[in-house]
Structure 1
Amino acid sequence: MKFGWRIVKTGVAVCLCVFIAQLLHMEYPFYSAIATVIALQATMADSFKQGVNRLKGTFVGAVFGYLFALVAINNPLWIGLGIIVTFAVLNYMRWNASMQIASVVFIAITLNIMGEPLNYAFNRFIDTALGISIAFMVNWLIFPPKYKEQVENTFDEARDQVIKIYRHVFRAVLDSEKTVRKESIQNLNDTISHAKKLVTLSGKENLRGKTDETFRLSYVEPLKRLERMSFAVEQILALRKGWIRPFSAELERDLTKLLSESFYLLSLIMDPKASVAPSIYLETTEHITLIHNRIETDPSYSGSNKGYLLELLHWVEEITKGASGCLRID
């Protein structure tokens, strides 16, 4: 776990929680502090969700704990029956995420009761509400999560890696002496995995947990395209092991030109507003079609590499489609 602001905020929130609980002469600051730690999550939406779940569980556990404590305290059979009833109610209300805290509160009231059951149940609810409120306010006021900015930076890094690796991989196809470091492919996959986590967290920043259409088009779809392009690059790299060399002069010339065009198109994803993008995309797709037709009609053009070449064109076309999507070319 990286040392980040969430760690600092948790410490600040617990400090505030204990201080306020002592200021209000609350009997058990422990419960408030625990609620604070649990409720302070990576995103505002998760903090809200955890807080609500804990409040629901505390309320239901307190109500049933109080009712069962009126009949008997420290009775094993009665406590077991009460847990079953509490869980049944939570399950009926579809508050399953609140079951654990509800059982803890119920047991605390019926087993470790200190004083009047009603007061104890009420105080546990107030303790929890205080802890959750402080956690939410601290998460909101002190360096609130801004995952969209991190997503943008990670996307830029992933795009840059895809562009560079694609050039190296295609050159390795043309020249058997060229090599591509495995670390570069792994770094790209790690960057995309990190981007996926950030996209998930960023999507949760909306308290309702719903991803709007703008966010989907700006982040979710581009991430899918980056994943497809990364996979295509890996497949092209794997193909080079099966080539039979040397290539015909015409084939090598056409592949070199295709590399130049497709690489230029791909490099434009770092500048999506580039006006030349549509024309470069058209030239690249036309060249792919031209090479494909030559392979199908002229055996001397491709030699024994026909199958490999057709697969190569397929993956280059995938990268081209991905680039056109990033550039929003209709």
Structure 2
Amino acid sequence: MKLGARIFKTGLAVVLALMLGELFHLPSPVFAAISAVFAIQPSIYRSYLTILEQVQGNVIGAIIAIVFVLLFGNHFLIVGLAAIILIIINLKLKIDTVSLSVVTLIVIMETPQDEFITFAILRFATIMLGILSAFIINLIFLPPKYETKLYTSISDITNDILKWTRITNHDAVDHTLIKKELELLKEQFIHVEQIYLFYKEERTFLKKNKRGKIRKVVIYRQMITTAKKALEILRKLHHYQYDFYQLPKNIREQLLSVISHLNNNHEHLLLRYIGKAVQVHTEEMEEYVAKRNELLHLFGDMQKISSEQLTMDHMLQFMATILDYNEQLEKLEILISSLQQYHREEIDVDVS
């Protein structure tokens, strides 16, 4: 099992919450530890957003708890009704920290009736102390540099897609196996999108760095878009395999040659971004135009084929996807070339 930074931060936040609870002689400091677990976040920016929501949600939860106890008592049915009302209010206000605010409500409503207000305030303060502890830990232990992690994730998933595309091109893969792999790749994109969001949310403090960050955010978004288009080609190559092999051999071989060439360009672009391949911008742009013209010529040839020989709609969709892939690679080529020509020093990826 892999132990990530968030696991250690959670443990440290619990320790800090318990320690501060003991230091301030708060009753039941365990509630501070519980709230710290809910409050820990993977980035400072998310921690900042979360602490605002948690304060709002906990204040609402505390108010509802106090009002319900004073008016109706703390019978378990009353606690359940109060929790339902609190959840509805949180959803209406679009506050995502529902769980912690419900914990706050339950903790306060279960406070002994003697000196209820005093104990309720103390328990509310204890929970807020846990949230503050988590925020402090997030500030002290800075999150990892997400740029390297993002590039590596995009590169890995792209290489997997291209590998399976080459295997499928040679009709050397089991259908059940490729189907499972397609589902796995789809799930991996969810992880990539999450890392992209973390990277996008990372704060930069210098104006110069902010401009560079915006440029790189656009490039990484295009990398993801292009990788998804490569996955779409793999998926259609798998789904329409029967129709594909009904095409005349010369057209089929030309299509496979174009796909192979675009795949090679895709790999080359990712390596160029980190300085591990030479820049050949002019030649690449000429090749994209040539491949687009070649695909359009093949498109005309396919229209001459009798529709009785294959499901023409499927092959036209497949052709459109390849054209789109060519276009996305061309966009990525322009973005990377521009960054390397004018802002090479802004690339901060360590894959050694």
- TM superposition score category, shorter chain reference: 0.7 to 0.9
Two-structure CA RMSD over aligned residues (Å) = 4.2
Structure 2 residue matching 1:48: 3-state secondary structure: helix
The whole-number CA distance in structure 1 between the counterparts of 2:254 and 2:36 is 64
Residue number in structure 2 paired with 1:59: 59
The total of aligned residue pairs comes to 317
Gaps of 5+ in 2: 205-212, 274-278, 338-352
Q: What residue identity is the alignment partner of 1:217?
A: V
CA contact (8 A) 1:40 1:47 kept: yes
The whole-number CA distance in structure 1 between the counterparts of 2:181 and 2:66 is 61
The structure-2 alpha-carbon separation of the partners of 1:53 and 1:252, relative to structure 1 and needing over 3 Å to count, comes to closer
Residue number in structure 1 paired with 2:190: 193
TM-score in terms of structure 1 length? 0.75
Aligned positions of 1:128-167 closer than 5 A: 128-167=127-166
Q: What residue identity is the alignment partner of 2:162?
A: I
CA contact (8 A) 1:74 1:111 kept: no
Render the CA deviation track for 1:6-56: whole Å, top value 9, x for unaligned.
112111111122122212222221121111111013333443344333322
Structure 2 residue matching 1:17: 3-state secondary structure: helix
Render the CA deviation track for 1:236-263: whole Å, top value 9, x for unaligned.
2333323567945x54664465355434
Aligned sequence identity (%): 18
The structure-2 alpha-carbon separation of the partners of 1:77 and 1:151, relative to structure 1 and needing over 3 Å to count, comes to closer
Gaps of 5+ in 1: 173-177
The structure-2 alpha-carbon separation of the partners of 1:247 and 1:94, relative to structure 1 and needing over 3 Å to count, comes to closer
The whole-number CA distance in structure 1 between the counterparts of 2:186 and 2:325 is 16
Structure 1 residue matching 2:240: 3-state secondary structure: helix
> Cα distance, 1:100 vs. partner?
5.6
CA contact (8 A) 2:162 2:230 kept: no
Structure 1 residue matching 2:129: 3-state secondary structure: helix
The whole-number CA distance in structure 1 between the counterparts of 2:244 and 2:94 is 59
The counterpart of 2:289, out of the listed 282, 285, 293, is 282
The whole-number CA distance in structure 2 between the counterparts of 1:192 and 1:102 is 32
The structure-2 alpha-carbon separation of the partners of 1:75 and 1:199, relative to structure 1 and needing over 3 Å to count, comes to closer
Residue number in structure 2 paired with 1:125: 124
Residue number in structure 2 paired with 1:19: 19
CA contact (8 A) 2:68 2:74 kept: no
The structure-2 alpha-carbon separation of the partners of 1:85 and 1:186, relative to structure 1 and needing over 3 Å to count, comes to closer
The whole-number CA distance in structure 1 between the counterparts of 2:255 and 2:216 is 37
Render the CA deviation track for 1:118-163: whole Å, top value 9, x for unaligned.
4223322321222111111212322524433321110111222233
Residue number in structure 1 paired with 2:226: 225
Residue number in structure 2 paired with 1:175: none
CA contact (8 A) 2:64 2:86 kept: no
Q: What residue identity is the alignment partner of 2:124?
A: F
Would you identify which runs of 4 or more consecutive aligned residues in structure 1 move more than 6 Å?
A: none
Q: What residue identity is the alignment partner of 1:280?
A: E
Render the CA deviation track for 1:84-110: whole Å, top value 9, x for unaligned.
997499569826546665555455445
The structure-2 alpha-carbon separation of the partners of 1:132 and 1:251, relative to structure 1 and needing over 3 Å to count, comes to closer
TM-score in terms of structure 2 length? 0.71
